[in-house]
Chains A and B, each alone.
Chain A
Amino acid sequence: MNGNGAGEQARSSDVVSVAAARGPLAMEAVSLAKDFRLGRGQVLHAVRDVSFALYRGAVVALVGESGSGKSTVARLLAGQERLTSGEIRLDGAPVDPSTRSAFRRHKSEVQLVFQDPFSSLNPVHTVRHHLERPVRLHQGRRSRAEVAREVAALLDQVRLIPANQFTGKYPYELSGGQRQRVSFARALAAKPSVLLADEPVSMLDVSIRLEMLSLLDDLRQRFRLALLYITHDIASARYFADEVLVMYAGQIVERGPAEELTQHPAHPYTQLLVASAPDPDNLGGGLHSFHPPGAALPGAAPRPAADSAAPSAAATYQPAAANLTDRGCPFSPRCPFADDRCRAEDPALLPVAPARAAACWHLDIAAPEVLAGEQRGGG
C-alpha cells in the first residue's frame, strides 16, 4: 500500500462529515483493515484503511459493487469478523468484541440487518420466537407479559399491524417485505444506537423498496439511530443518505454529501457508477452509446468495462483481482485516465472540496469542476 501511511490517513479525516450536523458521534471506524488468506501465499485485502464515522440520527451510505468489501466492513463493525488492523470506537471508547461478554455488550449497541429476508429468518421458528429471544437477552425482561408487550410494541413500530396477527406466523407465511420488517424489529429489540443495514431492500420489489426505506428513515428519526446503509444502488443513496462513501476494492475512493457526490462525482469509479444507473430520462439511446463521462474528453479511452469485442474484458469485471494487488490504484485497470503513476502508486483519500474527499491522481482531468468548487452552485 504505497503512499497510504498514517500521515495521509490523518489528512482524509480532516474532511468533516455532513452527517455530523445531525447528531453526536456514535461510532467510529479508524483505519479498518481485513485480510483473508487464500492459500498459496495469496492474501485478499478485503478492506484496507477504511475510516469513517456514524452519527446519531444520520444516514451514511456505503456504496460499491459486489466484492468491494462493503459487507465485510459491516461485519467488522458488528464484531462478527476480527480486524486485521485498525480500531472501532463506540461513543469514543475503543471496543474489542472478541471476547464473548464484550461481543454481547457490543451487539446490544450495534445491530446488523441482512440483505436476504428469506435466509436471515429461521424457517422453523415463528415471528414471536425471533423477537422474544433478543428482548430477553438484551433488555433483560423476564416476565411473560412484559416480553409479550415488548414484542407487540416492536411489531407495531415496524408497522406489522395488528401485531397479534403476525406473532404466530412462520417466515414462509410472510411476504418479502413483511420478513424484512421482522428483521428490522429483531434488530430494534436490542435497543441499539447503531444500525448496520446491509442491502436491506435489494431483494425486494421496486414498488415496496421505497416503503421500506421510508420505514427505516422513520425508525432512524424516532430512535435517533446512527445508520449505515450499505447498497450497490447509488440512486437510493442519493435520496436516503446524508453522506455517501464509495468503496472500490476494499478502499474508500470517494466520500461526500449525498447530493453533491451523486450529481458531481469526482472519482472516475463514482462516475462509472453514476453513468451505469438506469436513466429513465435517457430513453433508448443510452444503452447503445454508453460511455463514462470521461470518455467525452479528447483522447480518453473507450468505456473501460467489458466490451464484447475486447479480449481482456474478463479481467475488468473481476473486482476481486484488484484486492490482491499491493501496488497502484486498484481502479487503474478499468480507469480511462490511468497512466504509469496510477499503476505504480496508490493515491490517498484527500480533501477536494468542503466535506468531500477523493482518492485519485487525476482529479484535474476527471473532475475539474469539483476541484474548482463549481458544484457548490449547482448542487
Chain B
Amino acid sequence: MSPDAPVLDIKDFSVVYRTPGGDVRAVNQVNLALHAGEVVGLAGESGSGKSTLAYAVCRLLRAPALITGGSVTYQGRRAAGPTDVLQLRGHELQQLRWREIAIVFQSAMNALNPVLNVRDQITDAIHAHLRMSRREALDKAASLLDLVGIPRSRLRSYPHELSGGMRQRVMIAMALAAEPEIVIMDEPTTALDVVVQRDILAQIVELKAELGFAILFITHDLSLLLELADRIAVMYAGQLMEVAEAAEITREPAHPYTRGLLNSFPSLHGARRELAGIPGTPPDLRHPPPGCPFLPRCGYGTDACRTVDMSLERVESSAGLAHLTACPFVRPETPAPEPPAASAEQEMRA
C-alpha cells in the first residue's frame, strides 16, 4: 500500500433512481478521492445528489436507487489490500460499515431511537459491529461520551431529554465507536444554532486530530467548509463542478456555480459585499438538459455550453495541482459577467 493511496477512491460513479417517469440521474460520473486524515467537504443544494453519493458509496441505498456504473475502492490502514466496495456481500458489508466507514446522519432527533436511552443506543451499535462483552460495551459507551464531552450521567437519558447539540454529539460518539477510518457526516450541524454549531465543528476537528480518521463532510453551507475542509468538492445536479483546496475555492473560484455559492451568504466579518445569490432552480434530473446542467442559471453561458464535455479538468493557471473544474470556459481570472437587468432586484438593499 503506497502512502499516498486514497483510503476511498470513487471513480466514474453513477446512481439513478428508477421511477415510472424515467430515471432520475442523481449522481452522474463522479470522481472523488479521500485520503487518510483528510477532510473533504461536499457542497451543493438540496437535490444535488450529495447525500445520495455518500449513501451509495456505503451501499446504504436500496431500490429504486441503482448504482449504474463506476467503482468504489476502499483501502484502510488496517485492511490487507484494496477492497472493491461494490462487490461486497452481506457479512462483508457489515464488516465495512461502522468499523471502516461510519456515518453521522442528518437530524439526530430522527436518527436516534426515541425509546432507547443513550446507553442502550450506543451498546446496541457496539454489539452489532464489534465482538465485546456487555461489561466492555458499557465501559466503551461511557468512554465515548467522555470523548465528546457529555457527562456520564447522561447515559441514562433518552433522546428527548437531550438538547439538539447533545444529540448530535451522541451521534458522533456512536460513529466513533469502532474507530473508523472514514466518518461521513451528513449535515451534522444544520439544525443547530451557530454557537453550538461552532463548538461541534471545533470538537470534530479535535477528535480528528486525536483519532486520525478522514471526513467526508456534506453540507449545503459552503461557508462552513471554507474553514473546516482541506479540500472542497462542489456538486450540482449530480455532477462535480469544481474540486479544489479550500483556500483556492475562496481565493480563486473557477466554476460559475462556485462563484454563485460564494456570493450567496452574507458575511459578518469584513466590509459589506454586494450579494447576488443564484436565481433560478436546479434542473429536473429526469430530463437533464444537454451539456452543462448549470447553463440556465449561469451568467457566463454561451451556445457552446450546450454541447460541452463536463468532465473535470485541471485549472492550468492555479497554483494547486489539484484544482479541477468542469467548466472549460471560465477560469479564475475570467471577469464577472455584466449582470442582466432583471437580477438588479435580487440584490439586497445597501
Contact = CB atoms under 8 A, between A and B. Distances in A.
Contact of B165 (A280, A308, A317): A317
A36 B222 CA distance: 38
Interface string B249-282: 0100000000011101111111010011111010
Given A276-B198, A280-B227, A206 B266 contact: no
A286 interface: yes
Contacts of B275: 210, 239
A232 B348 contact: no
A320 B162 CA distance: 12
B246 A65 contact: no
B46 interface: yes
B92 interface: no
A66 B270 CA distance: 26
A211 B194 contact: no
Contacts of A320: 163
A239 B226 contact: no
Contacts of A314: 149-151, 154, 166
A213 interface: yes
A176 interface: yes
Contacts of B264: 206-207, 209-210
B330 to A, nearest CB: 18
A273 B149 contact: no
B199 A317 contact: yes
Contact of B149 (A207, A288, A310): A310
Interface string B175-218: 00000000000000000111111110111011100000000000
Nearest to A221: B349
Contact of A311 (B151, B202, B227, B262): B151
B265 A306 contact: no
Interface in A284-334: 284, 286-288, 290, 305-311, 313-314, 317-318, 320
B45 A282 contact: no
Given A234-B268, A283-B246, A290 B150 contact: no
Contact of A278 (B46, B223, B260): B223
B4 interface: no
A211 B347 CA distance: 8
Given A208-B277, A308-B149, A239 B266 contact: yes
Interface string B206-240: 11000000000000111110111000000000000
A206 B222 contact: yes
Interface residues of B, number: 59
Contacts of B194: 65, 232-234, 273, 276-278
B268 A235 contact: yes
Most chain A C-beta atoms within 10 Å of own C-beta, residue among B196, B201, B207, B345: B196
B61 interface: no
A317 B227 contact: no
Given A66-B193, A206-B221, A210-B346, A307 B149 contact: yes
A246 to B, nearest CB: 12
A325 B154 CA distance: 22
Nearest to A311: B151
Given A211-B346, A288-B205, A314-B154, A272 B195 contact: yes
B348 A214 contact: yes
Nearest to A240: B348
* Number of chain A interface residues as a range: 35 or more
A175 interface: yes
A340 interface: no
B148 interface: yes
Contacts of A180: none
Contact of B46 (A176, A232, A313, A318): A176
B163 to A, nearest CB: 6
A311 B264 CA distance: 39
Given A205-B220, A287-B227, A308-B147, A280 B195 contact: no
B309 to A, nearest CB: 25
B295 interface: no
B247 A287 contact: no
A218 interface: yes
Interface string A233-246: 11110111000000
A206 B220 contact: yes
B266 A238 contact: yes
B301 interface: no
Given A239-B266, A277-B268, A210 B195 contact: no
Interface in B306-321: none
B203 A210 contact: no
A240 B275 CA distance: 11
A217 B267 contact: no
A317 B222 contact: no
B328 interface: no
Q: Which 10 A-B pairs have the closest CB atoms?
A: A210-B277, A308-B149, A276-B198, A235-B268, A278-B223, A239-B266, A232-B193, A65-B193, A277-B268, A280-B226
28 contacts: A65-B193, A206-B45, A206-B220, A206-B261, A207-B220, A207-B277, A207-B278, A208-B278, A209-B265, A210-B346, A213-B348, A214-B345, A217-B349, A218-B345, A233-B194, A235-B265, A236-B266, A275-B198, A277-B268, A281-B250, A281-B269, A283-B226, A286-B227, A306-B149, A306-B199, A308-B149, A313-B151, A314-B149
Given A207-B277, A283-B247, 6 more contacts: A177-B281, A283-B226, A283-B246, A288-B202, A306-B199, A317-B199
